[in-house]
């Protein structure tokens, strides 16, 4: 399926790691400046870079240099370094000796490990939900949003709606620790799916998730594993152009 067109007004000047490419991210209104408090400035720089990564404007493998971030956002190199450290904590960027910091590239092994961790967290959350007889209060609205996004053909909106479905299930368990850890994984999954669009016919993703929600509320141990195994295969196949 064709990749969604990027909004030119949001496009950062980003290369694919080649020499001489401009990897700066345009600062949004209210951007960090040298006059901002350090931690707040680092948050704003991290937010801007994260947006560039998750929109696809900064491709996997793109180098991110402290001096360029410092100049673009009007902050010290220390602040730029702090922002990159935060993004490394989300696994959106990877720091390598002698190569510096680059936008992460998730290979198949990393995808499988990510899905295994998602499976453990989502299964436990849904086991709690089932045992307490809870119907996740936000899941029906999240599924409707997924249907609307999928019908529009807007892949970024579809990714956001897809995440909301899973968040609604996990959040219903009422466990702040599970919810926090689950959200840590969302940026990695979003990064991967920004660049890989599995071949779903219109409406298929929504139908699949409506069926998944029903099954997961009844048999989470089986349903979550089956759902994530299926999505892992779809992502790998999409990456290989099958």
Contact 223, 216 (CB under 8 A): yes
Q: pLDDT by residue (tens digit) across 88-140?
A: 988 899 998 888 999 998 889 999 999 999 999 999 999 999 999 999 999 99
CA quadruple 10, 14, 20, 26: dihedral, nearest 10: 40
Beta pairing class for 100-103 and 93-96 = antiparallel
Q: Are residues 172 and 73 part of one domain?
A: no
Rounded to whole angstroms, the Cα distance separating 183 from 180 reads 5
Q: Which of 84, 103, 122 is the last residue of a domain?
A: 103
Q: Is residue 2 part of a domain?
A: no
Q: Are residues 195 and 97 part of one domain?
A: no
Q: What is the CATH number of the domain that holds 194?
A: 1.20.120.530
Q: Are residues 82 and 123 part of one domain?
A: no
* CA dihedral sign, ordered 37, 42, 47, 49: positive
Tell me what the pLDDT averaged over the chain comes to.
84
pTM (2 d.p.):
0.75
* Structural domain for 167, as ranges: 108-239
Q: Is residue 54 part of a domain?
A: yes
Q: How many domains does the chain have?
A: 2
Q: What is the pLDDT of residue 96?
A: 87
Q: Are residues 123 and 65 part of one domain?
A: no
Contact 67, 152 (CB under 8 A): no
């Amino acid at each position: 399926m064709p990749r969604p067109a990027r909004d030119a007004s949001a496009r950062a000047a980003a290369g694919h790691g080649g020499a001489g490419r401009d990897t700066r991210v345009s600062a949004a209104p209210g951007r960090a400046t040298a006059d901002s408090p350090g931690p707040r400035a680092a948050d704003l720089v991290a937010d801007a870079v994260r947006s560039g990564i998750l929109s696809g404007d900064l491709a996997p493998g793109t180098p991110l240099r402290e001096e360029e971030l410092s100049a673009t956002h009007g902050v010290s190199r220390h602040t730029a370094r702090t922002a990159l450290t935060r993004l490394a904590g989300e696994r959106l960027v990877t720091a390598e000796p002698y190569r510096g910091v680059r936008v992460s590239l998730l290979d198949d092994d990393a995808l499988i490990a990510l899905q295994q961790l998602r499976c453990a967290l989502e299964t436990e959350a849904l086991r709690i939900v089932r045992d307490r007889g809870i119907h996740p209060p936000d899941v029906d609205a999240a599924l409707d949003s997924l249907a609307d996004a999928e019908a529009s053909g807007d892949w970024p909106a579809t990714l956001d709606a897809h995440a909301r479905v899973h968040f609604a299930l996990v959040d219903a368990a009422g466990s702040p620790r599970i919810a926090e850890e689950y959200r840590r994984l969302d940026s990695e999954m979003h990064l991967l799916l920004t660049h890989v669009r599995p071949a779903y016919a219109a409406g298929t993703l929504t139908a699949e998730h409506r069926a998944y929600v029903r099954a997961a509320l009844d048999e989470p141990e089986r349903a979550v594993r089956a759902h994530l195994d299926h999505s892992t295969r779809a992502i790998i196949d999409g990456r290989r152009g099958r």
